[in-house]
Amino acid sequence: MANKESCPRQNEPTRNMACRGGWNDAPALQNHFRHRIGSPATPTQNSESDLLFIGTDNQEYFTLAWNASRQLLENVQELHDQSEPHMREAECQFKCVVDPSGRFMALHIWEGVLNISRLIDRGDSKHFIKFLEQVRLTELFIKSSTFLYSQTGPRIAFLYQTRIDEEDAKLAIYRLTGDDRHATAAKFEPKERQLDLAIPDSLSRILIPVPIVEDENRRHLARNASSARRTLPHLGGVLVVGETSVVYVDSQDFSTVEFSLPEGNIFITWEAYDVTRYFLADDFGRLHLLSLVVDGTAVTGITVTALGPATTSRASTLVYLEDGLLFVGSHYGNSQLIRVDVDSLKAELAPCPPSFSNNAPILDFVVMDMGNREGASSGGNTFSSGQARLVAGCGVFESGSLRSIRSGVGLEDLGVLDEFTNVKGLFLWAPETG
* Domain parsing of the chain, residue ranges: 1-198
Task: Answer yes or no: are the C-beta atoms of 23 and 317 closer than 8 Å.
Answer: no
pLDDT band at 221 (very low <50, low <70, confident <90, very high): very low
Chain segment 181-193, per-residue pLDDT in tens: 888 899 999 999 9
Chain segment 74-124, per-residue pLDDT in tens: 888 888 765 566 778 888 878 889 999 888 999 988 888 999 998 887 766
Average pLDDT estimate for 5-26: 35
Amino acid 52 reads: L
Distance CA 311, CA 282 (A): 10
Distance CA 138, CA 434 (A): 65
What string of H, E and C letters represents the secondary structure of the chain? CCCHHHCCEECCCCCCCCCCCCHHHCCCCCCCECCCCCCCCECCCCCCCCEEEEECCCCEEEEEEEECCCCEEEEEEEEECCCCCCCCECCCCCCEEECCCCCEEEECCECCEEEEEEECCCCCCCCCEEEEEEEECCCCEEEEEEEECCCCCCEEEEEEECCCCCCCCEEEEEECECCCCCCCECCCCHHHCCEEEECCCCCCCEEEEECCCCCCCCHHHHHHCCCHHHHCCECCEEEEECCCEEEEEECCCCCEEEEECCCCCCEEEEEECCCCEEEEEECCCCEEEEEEEEECCEEEEEEEEEEEECCCCCCCEEEECCCCEEEEECCCCCEEEEEEECCCCEEEECCCCCEECCCCCEEEEEEEECCCCCCCCCCCCCCCCCCEEEEEEECCHHHCEEEEECCCCCCCCCCCCCCCCCCCCCCCCCCCCC
- The answer to which of 180-189, 248-257, 280-289, 404-413 has the lowest mean pLDDT is 404-413
Q: Give the rounded percent of residues in the chain with a pLDDT score beyond 70.
A: 77
Task: Answer yes or no: are the C-beta atoms of 16 and 64 closer than 8 Å.
Answer: no
Chain segment 311-337, per-residue pLDDT in tens: 899 999 999 998 899 999 999 999 999
Average pLDDT estimate for 5-12: 41
Q: Tell me, what's the pLDDT at 223?
A: 47
Average pLDDT estimate for 167-185: 91
Residue 293: pLDDT over 90: yes
Task: Answer yes or no: are the C-beta atoms of 39 and 30 closer than 8 Å.
Answer: yes
Length of the chain: 434
The larger pLDDT score, comparing residue 319 to residue 13, is at 319
Average pLDDT estimate for 364-370: 83
Which residue in 211, 279, 334 sits closest to 38, CA to CA?
279
Q: Tell me, what's the pLDDT at 381?
A: 53
Residue 226 backbone class (left: φ over 0; alpha: ψ -120 to 50; beta: rest): beta
Omega into 361 within 30° of 0, i.e. cis? yes
Residue 5: pLDDT over 90: no
Q: Tell me, what's the pLDDT at 124?
A: 63
pTM (predicted TM-score): 0.79
Selected from 3.40.630.40, 3.90.1150.10, 1.10.357.10, 2.130.10.10, the CATH number assigned to the domain covering 1-198 reads 2.130.10.10
The larger pLDDT score, comparing residue 217 to residue 276, is at 276
- Within the chain, what is the greatest distance between any pair of CA atoms? 91
Chain segment 224-244, per-residue pLDDT in tens: 444 455 578 999 999 999 999
Gap between the terminal Cα atoms of the chain: 62
Q: Tell me, what's the pLDDT at 157?
A: 96
The larger pLDDT score, comparing residue 141 to residue 217, is at 141
Average pLDDT estimate for 136-146: 93
Distance CA 380, CA 375 (A): 10
Q: Mean pLDDT: which of 16-30, 137-151, 221-235, 396-410 is highest?
A: 137-151
φ, ψ at 229 (rounded to 5°): -70, -20
Amino acid 201 reads: D
Average pLDDT estimate for 304-311: 92
Distance CA 99, CA 42 (A): 7
Which residue in 307, 270, 269 sits closest to 286, CA to CA?
307
Distance CA 152, CA 95 (A): 24
**The pairing of beta strand 51-55 with beta strand 60-67:** antiparallel
Distance CA 90, CA 105 (A): 17
Residue 416: pLDDT over 80: no
Q: Tell me, what's the pLDDT at 40?
A: 36
Q: Tell me, what's the pLDDT at 181?
A: 85
